[in-house]
Amino acid sequence: MISEDNIFIKDYKKVDIRFALTYPNIYRTAMSSLGYNILYNYINERADTWCERITYPNIHSIESNTPLKSFDIISFSLQFEEDYFNVLEMLKQTEIPLRREDRSSKDPLIIAGGPCATANPMPMSPYIDIFIIGEGEVIINQFLDKYLENKELSSFLDIKGIYIPEFDNDANIAIVNEMEDAYHITRPIISRSDDDEYKTVFSDSIMLNVSRGCTRGCRFCMSSYLYRPMRETNIDKLVETAIESRENTGLNKITLIGAAVSDYDGIEELIKRLEGKGFQISTPSLRIESITYESLRLLKESGLKTITLAPESIDSLRKRINKSIPDEKIFSVIEDAVKLDFNIKLYFLIGLPHETMDDIKELCGYIERIANMHTSRHKIKFSINPVVPKPHTPMQWMSYDFKDIKRKSKYIKKNLRKYSIKIESPKKALIQYILSCGNSEVSEIIERSLTRDVNIHEWMGYLPEYGIDDELPWDGIDVGVKKEFLKIEYKRLETKKQTPWCNNSTCYNCGSCD
Ligand code: SF4
């Protein structure tokens, strides 16, 4: 079983709002999410609200075993499109009518946030009363104050970062301007369990929020367009937070969290200072361009065992997606990692724009070359994923070619059998694409999947196709980046023209900093 420290237990008779922070995926995934943990602590700082956690497949809270339907507000954290099915399953289990039109004022208010809610709320819009567009901690206090004042849906419309399907209002994203205004947890929940199901990815470690947002501009990456610009926490604040968290937990291990931790200005100084205070450091997110031998050595010295790198593809296709890292740099980072005896995990994409079978053959050779750089093959693992076009990215006008991806995935499987390779199912990626880029009609097939198996042909019936001048389902959600800018980037997928990193060069007016 599981035991936890630092959870909030309040007297339910003394609070005005009972808030169910619901994660439609298993405990391990929920508690590995920094955003989920931030909201839990942040909301519980309010004396008038008790925020409790509920994770799939349970429909009772961890804190007090209260059933989901007894809460005033149920908030779903939508990190992955595939979790939409679990949202409906949880509502069904707890006997809350799925569709908002079938619910009454006696039912809890159902809200949703997270990257999927921010990017395209439409597929889930028949079920959710209010979507939070952006970073929760900027919006949630205003939202809860308003809830206490007036529960009418229309009263929430004047809060920035709110989308209400009933009014289909235009919404602007709300994010923290500076990391000084962000919430940094100093009393994180620590969970212990013998059961792997409950062990979090960063178990026994304090998560430090080094930065948010990334402006490198990889053309397939949704979070890099949603959460611009890049915002960094200053080193003193990070070291202070780490020390205070250690005092509150007894933990000595730090996990650095950010969109691309190695891009953090002063990463080596940060590692040295944390190490100097006796911390062990790890991080799941390194950007190849900004990795130095010194930063790898420091990370190794402080206990990191595995590094994760994302070359994505061969050089010519990397240029198309604006991730123009030279092969020499990729190979030299891998060589350094091999020298330092890291386990290495590499991510690749298939189905990139204009990718041919010849490219796939070249990719297989490329992967083979990397695999052979280590004498123990099991130390290098490859994850190959079909690229899924996402809203608010230059790829939003591309479709998903199921047959082509299936053929390529088969070829790779056959030709790289002897290496440690995991290929994501083309069918799963197709469903993810429909859930990501679909409109509100997609809700029909999500709901149908609750009662029976839905075959691939039925899914294909919901495959979106958008032309460059079409209105897109998420056009009413303004995340800062201008559509005109995305159109320029879309054309550059063809021409392979690079858009430089604005941290290093001049601003190219994507719209995020307006
Ligand atoms: S507006 Fe300019 S500086 Fe801001 S994220 Fe966009 S390109 Fe970078």
Domains in the chain (CATH in brackets) are 2-172 (3.40.50.280), 204-437+482-504 (3.20.20.70)
Name 316's Cβ contacts closer than 8 Å, sequence gap at least 6: 359, 496
pLDDT, position 482? 96
* Tokens 């009014």 belong to residue: 167
Ligand 1 centroid distance, CA of 178 (Å): 15
- Return the closest-CA partner of residue 80 out of 222, 293, 224, 191: 222
Kind plus residue range of the DSSP H or E element containing 386: strand 380-386
> Alpha-carbon distance 398 to 353, whole Å?
8
Ligand 1 centroid distance, CA of 93 (Å): 45
* Tokens 């947890």 belong to residue: 185
pLDDT, position 1? 75
Q: Count Cβ atoms below 10 Å from residue 454 Cβ, excluding itself.
A: 16
Ligand 1 centroid distance, CA of 265 (Å): 17
**111 alpha carbon, distance to own chain's centre:** 18
CB 261 within 8 A of CB 211: yes
Please state the atom number of ligand 1 nearest to the C-alpha of residue 511.
Answer: 1
> Alpha-carbon distance 142 to 138, whole Å?
8
To test the pocket of ligand 1, the residue of 211, 502, 503 to mutate (highest count of ligand atoms within 8 Å of its CB) is: 502
To test the pocket of ligand 1, the residue of 215, 218, 226, 230 to mutate (highest count of ligand atoms within 8 Å of its CB) is: 215
Residue nearest to atom 8 of ligand 1 (CA): 502
Residue nearest to atom 5 of ligand 1 (CA): 229
Residue nearest to atom 4 of ligand 1 (CA): 513
- In DSSP terms, which residues pair with 308 in a beta bridge? 345
Bond prior to 464 in cis (omega within 30° of 0): no
Q: Which residues line ligand 1 (CB under 6 A)?
A: 215, 228-229, 502, 507-510, 512-513
Please state the atom number of ligand 1 nearest to the C-alpha of residue 229.
Answer: 5
Q: Beta strands 190-193 and 343-350: pairing type? A: unpaired
Please state the atom number of ligand 1 nearest to the C-alpha of residue 228.
Answer: 5
Q: Count Cβ atoms below 10 Å from residue 119 Cβ, excluding itself.
A: 26
Ligand 1 centroid distance, CA of 437 (Å): 25
Pull the structure tokens for residue 31: 């508690």
To test the pocket of ligand 1, the residue of 224, 228, 231, 504 to mutate (highest count of ligand atoms within 8 Å of its CB) is: 228
- Return the closest-CA partner of residue 88 out of 53, 61, 123, 131: 123
CB 270 within 8 A of CB 215: no
Ligand 1 centroid distance, CA of 510 (Å): 5
Rounded to two decimals, what is the model's pTM?
0.95
Amino acid at 488: I
Name 130's Cβ contacts closer than 8 Å, sequence gap at least 6: 109, 110, 111, 112, 143, 153, 156, 162, 163, 164
Residue nearest to atom 3 of ligand 1 (CA): 507
Please state the atom number of ligand 1 nearest to the C-alpha of residue 507.
Answer: 2
> Alpha-carbon distance 52 to 73, whole Å?
11
pLDDT, position 284? 81
Ligand 1 centroid distance, CA of 221 (Å): 16
Q: Count Cβ atoms below 10 Å from residue 347 Cβ, excluding itself.
A: 14
Where are the strands (E) in 176-257, listed by range?
Answer: 190-193, 206-209, 211-212, 231-232, 253-257
DSSP 3-state of 274: helix
Farthest-apart Cα atoms in the chain, separation: 67
Ligand 1 centroid distance, CA of 159 (Å): 25
pLDDT lower than 70: segments of the chain: none
Q: Count Cβ atoms below 10 Å from residue 471 Cβ, excluding itself.
A: 8
Count Cα atoms within 13 angstroms, Cβ side, for 69: 14
Ligand 1 centroid distance, CA of 4 (Å): 41
CB 370 within 8 A of CB 99: no
Could you write out the three-class secondary structure of 102-131?
Answer: HCCCCCCEEEEECHHHHHCCHHHCCCCCEE
Q: Crossing angle, helix 426-437 and helix 442-451, to 10 degrees?
A: 130
Residue nearest to atom 2 of ligand 1 (CA): 507
CB 258 within 8 A of CB 211: yes
pLDDT, position 375? 77
Q: What angle do CA 281, 286, 291 make, to 5 degrees?
A: 95
